[in-house]
Structure 1
């Protein structure tokens, strides 16, 4: 993925124009699709123009789960009409809380992963600030999509009509890799969030049963060795990142997830689902 801004400006044709192509069959070739992931806010042209001009094959629209479908802006139907009229498949089955960073990050990242064999773009201009941040993070964590920003010449405040008009440019934004949580600590975090607070002994039992190395590979009755492995390979990193807290109650040491840990699990649980 390039770290240099690649600005593409389109002009001189209808914004929804798309040339017809002859039907071509591909034998023995893995031909990828152009996929656009688009959180929906109060935008119309900044949704349709990039997908059509960049010749998308499929668009995933992401709706806010708190919205009544009957009260969505009327121009949402125009979005569908324009995209389908241009021969683009529209996937409507994507809902999240677009005002929640972690829920949006999870949703976008899952869609990126589901299309990892294709050419994926995430529209950072079609929703709000939260969806823009979540979309950028998802692109950087997965390294599987290009974030794009769509500029316009007119911006308004009336949500009954699209916020922006007259798209002037579509820009690929630079990205930098972000390290996602490792599988093993994330798997233990999931257990702690779902079952916690839990004792360290219960964490060890879970790690062994789940096949998490090096605990699952540990041989013999060296209990202290298991506790050292739990700390050094799993809990220390979770504590350092602020995802869990440990405390002593009676003779037992307990582990519980922090709010940050719960949010992190929500954002990155897709990594466990595909493993």
Structure 2
């Protein structure tokens, strides 16, 4: 793991799924001087939308004070929580471990909160060893998107009955995972996905001109240098927003009369939840 010394102002922030583990959760945080640990607690039926984080509730010090079922935690998960709280600030977040987009969205939202992609932001790490495989993929993808450091933790030995004891004990070493750049949707593209999602929730259709008028009111960047002509605005929308989204399968176009109706696909809806942190503060 990258153990270089942080600046005075930045903190080491870890995102760690609270799975059926104890030592692989606690020891990397202890050994590498974590300042803040976000424990992702499995909550498959949580009410919030994918990727949403209630940061106020996350700072509660006891499982019963946040939006999770404390009875759903094992004794060793509670112990892991308490052990981390002895040396780091613990923030627990309910998330559906089996929903890669929820894990991805929550992790990128945490990254945005700590400005992990900025030079003067906090340093973000993601543990991909402590939850189910889908959660690991979500954390790893999020780290790749925001330029954070994912890491894997190898156990000293394995156990099997997770209802009574954690799967492993002790750790042998912590292994850095490679960072790959990922072509995430732009802020404008995420904003348009959000517009389509909101309109679909209201059973409203959306054509290209509706998107252009909406984008103009919100001063989205793709229209700033498009010119005043209607044709130029359509071209800018197509070039910078719709064409990339359509190529990735996030939106579909349907000819209705003289206008093209833009529809959000299920994949596009999930991608919006994963990347809506880009709209924070807008």
Query: What's the TM-score once normalised by structure 1's chain length?
Result: 0.82
3-state SS of paired residue (2:181): coil
**Which residue of 2 is the match for residue 98 of structure 1?**
97
**Which residue of 2 is the match for residue 151 of structure 1?**
154
**Which residue of 2 is the match for residue 255 of structure 1?**
262
Q: CA–CA distance in 1 between the matches of 2:230 and 2:72? A: 60
Q: 2:197 aligns with which of 189, 193, 196?
A: 193
Unaligned runs of 5+ in 2: 45-67
Which residues of 2 match residues 1-275 of structure 1 at below 5 A?
Answer: 30-66=8-44, 68-85=69-86, 87-92=87-92, 94-115=93-114, 116=116, 117-143=121-147, 145-160=148-163, 161-196=165-200, 197-216=205-224, 218=226, 220=228, 222-275=229-282
Once the two structures are TM-superposed, the CA of residue 131 in structure 1 deviates from its matched residue by: 1.4
Q: CA–CA distance in 2 between the matches of 1:173 and 1:189? A: 31
CA RMSD of aligned residues (A): 2.1
The structure with the larger Rg is 1
Unaligned runs of 5+ in 1: 1-5, 9-28
Alpha-carbon contact 2:226-2:236 (below 8 Å) kept: no
Once the two structures are TM-superposed, the CA of residue 250 in structure 1 deviates from its matched residue by: 2.5
- Alpha carbons of 1:125 and 1:215: their partners in 2 closer, same or farther (altered >3 Å)? same
Alpha-carbon contact 1:150-1:169 (below 8 Å) kept: yes
- Alpha carbons of 1:219 and 1:122: their partners in 2 closer, same or farther (altered >3 Å)? closer
Q: CA–CA distance in 1 between the matches of 2:208 and 2:13? A: 44
Alpha-carbon contact 2:99-2:134 (below 8 Å) kept: yes
3-state SS of paired residue (1:32): coil
**Which residue of 2 is the match for residue 26 of structure 1?**
none
Give the count of matched residue pairs. Answer: 246
Once the two structures are TM-superposed, the CA of residue 211 in structure 1 deviates from its matched residue by: 0.9
Q: CA–CA distance in 2 between the matches of 1:51 and 1:226? A: 50
Query: What's the TM-score once normalised by structure 2's chain length?
Result: 0.80
- Alpha carbons of 1:180 and 1:219: their partners in 2 closer, same or farther (altered >3 Å)? closer
